Structure 1
Amino acid sequence: MEQPPEFVDSDHPSYVCRLRKEIYGLKKAPRAWYTKSKSYLLNLEFINSLADTSLFILRRGKTYVYLLVYVDDILVIGNDKSSICNILQLLADRFSVKDPEDLNYFLGIEAHRTDKGLHLSQRKYILDFLHRHNMLNAKPVATPMASSPKLTLQSGLALPDGKEYRQLVGSLQYLSFTRPDISFTVNRLSQFMHRPTQEHWQAAKRILGYLAGITTHGIFFSAKNDHTLQAFSDADWAGDTHDYISTNAYIVYMGTNLVSWTAKKQKSVARSSTEAEYRAVANTSAELCWISNLLTELGIPLRVVPLIYCDNVGATFLCANPIFHSRIKHIALDYHFVRGQIQQGLLRASHVHTKDQLADALTKLFPRTHFLHLRNKIGVLPAPPS
Structure 2
Amino acid sequence: MEEMEALKRNKTWNVVDLPQGKKPVGCKWVFTPKYKADGTLEKYKARLVAKGFTQIYGEDYTETFAPVAKLNTIRILLSIAVNLDWGLHQLDVKNAFLNGELKEEVYMKLPPGFPGKKPNQVCKLKRSLYGLKQSPRAWFDRFTRVMKKHGFTQGQSDHTLFVKHYNGKMTILTVYVDDIILTGDDEVEINQIKKALAREFQIKDLGEMKYFLGMEVARSKGGIYISQRKYVLDLLKESGMIGCRPSDTPIQVDKINEGADLGKSVDIGNYQRMVGKLIYLSHTRPDIAFAVSMVSQHSHDPKQKHLNEVYRILRYLKGSPGRGLLFKKTDKRNVELFTDADWAGDQDDRRSTSGYCTYVWGNLVTWRSKKQSVVARSSAEAEYRAVALGICEAIWIKRTLEDLKRCINLPINVYCDNMAAINIAHNPVQHDRTKHVEIDRHFIREKVDKGIVDLRYIPSKEQTADILTKGLSKDGFKYLISKLNLIDIYSPT
Alpha-carbon offset, residue 153 of structure 1 = 9.3
Which of 139, 149, 158 aligns to 1:43? It is 149
- Contact 1:118/1:220 (CA < 8 Å) preserved in 2? yes
SS at match of 2:125: coil
State how far apart, in whole Å, the 2-side matches of 1:114 and 1:160 are: 45
Alpha-carbon offset, residue 309 of structure 1 = 0.8
Which of 369, 375, 397 aligns to 1:269? It is 375
Bigger proportion of residues as strand: 2
Corresponding position of 1:145: 251
Residue 277 of structure 2 corresponds to residue 171 of structure 1? yes
Q: 1:81 to 1:137 in 2, by over 3 A?
A: farther
Alpha-carbon offset, residue 25 of structure 1 = 3.0
Corresponding position of 2:158: 52
State how far apart, in whole Å, the 2-side matches of 1:76 and 1:301 are: 21
Corresponding position of 1:374: 480
For residues 122-159 of structure 1, give each alpha carbon's deviation from its aligned partner in whole angstroms, at most 9, with x where no partner exists: 11211221221122222211111123474259642343
Corresponding position of 1:4: 111
Corresponding position of 1:320: 426
- Contact 1:115/1:223 (CA < 8 Å) preserved in 2? no
Alpha-carbon offset, residue 369 of structure 1 = 1.5
Alpha-carbon offset, residue 364 of structure 1 = 1.1
State how far apart, in whole Å, the 1-side matches of 2:255 and 2:449 are: 45
Q: Report the TM-score, using the length of structure 2 for normalisation.
A: 0.75
Kindly report which structure 2 residues correspond to 1:1-386, keeping only aligned pairs within 5 A, or say none: 1-2=26-27, 3-4=110-111, 7-9=114-116, 11=118, 13-148=119-254, 150-151=256-257, 155-383=261-489
State how far apart, in whole Å, the 2-side matches of 1:169 and 1:39 are: 38
SS at match of 1:25: coil
SS at match of 1:245: coil
One-letter code aligned to 1:71: V
For residues 7-35 of structure 1, give each alpha carbon's deviation from its aligned partner in whole angstroms, at most 9, with x where no partner exists: 55464x24321111101232321111111
Q: 1:7 to 1:381 in 2, by over 3 A?
A: closer
- Contact 1:8/1:15 (CA < 8 Å) preserved in 2? no
State how far apart, in whole Å, the 1-side matches of 2:427 and 2:270 are: 49
Corresponding position of 2:16: none
Runs of at least 5 residues in structure 1 that lack an aligned partner in the other structure: none
Aligned pairs, number: 384
State how far apart, in whole Å, the 2-side matches of 1:94 and 1:80 are: 21
State how far apart, in whole Å, the 2-side matches of 1:294 and 1:207 are: 33
State how far apart, in whole Å, the 1-side matches of 2:463 and 2:365 are: 17
Q: 1:15 to 1:205 in 2, by over 3 A?
A: same
- Contact 1:30/1:71 (CA < 8 Å) preserved in 2? yes
Q: 1:195 to 1:153 in 2, by over 3 A?
A: farther
State how far apart, in whole Å, the 2-side matches of 1:115 and 1:342 are: 39
Q: 1:15 to 1:259 in 2, by over 3 A?
A: same
State how far apart, in whole Å, the 1-side matches of 2:406 and 2:392 are: 19
Q: 1:323 to 1:355 in 2, by over 3 A?
A: farther
- Contact 2:384/2:440 (CA < 8 Å) preserved in 1? no
- Contact 1:155/1:200 (CA < 8 Å) preserved in 2? no
Q: 1:335 to 1:174 in 2, by over 3 A?
A: farther
One-letter code aligned to 2:340: D
For residues 355-383 of structure 1, give each alpha carbon's deviation from its aligned partner in whole angstroms, at most 9, with x where no partner exists: 21111111011111111111112221123
Q: 1:5 to 1:112 in 2, by over 3 A?
A: closer
One-letter code aligned to 2:144: K
One-letter code aligned to 1:239: G
Q: 1:294 to 1:64 in 2, by over 3 A?
A: same
State how far apart, in whole Å, the 2-side matches of 1:24 and 1:153 are: 48
- Contact 2:253/2:473 (CA < 8 Å) preserved in 1? yes
SS at match of 1:206: helix
State how far apart, in whole Å, the 1-side matches of 2:430 and 2:462 are: 26
- Contact 1:162/1:196 (CA < 8 Å) preserved in 2? yes
Q: 1:5 to 1:216 in 2, by over 3 A?
A: closer
Runs of at least 5 residues in structure 2 that lack an aligned partner in the other structure: 1-25, 28-109
SS at match of 2:436: coil
State how far apart, in whole Å, the 2-side matches of 1:349 and 1:149 are: 29
State how far apart, in whole Å, the 2-side matches of 1:377 and 1:89 are: 42
Q: Report the TM-score, using the length of structure 1 for normalisation.
A: 0.94
State how far apart, in whole Å, the 2-side matches of 1:301 and 1:149 are: 41
Q: 1:334 to 1:316 in 2, by over 3 A?
A: closer
State how far apart, in whole Å, the 2-side matches of 1:326 and 1:147 are: 34
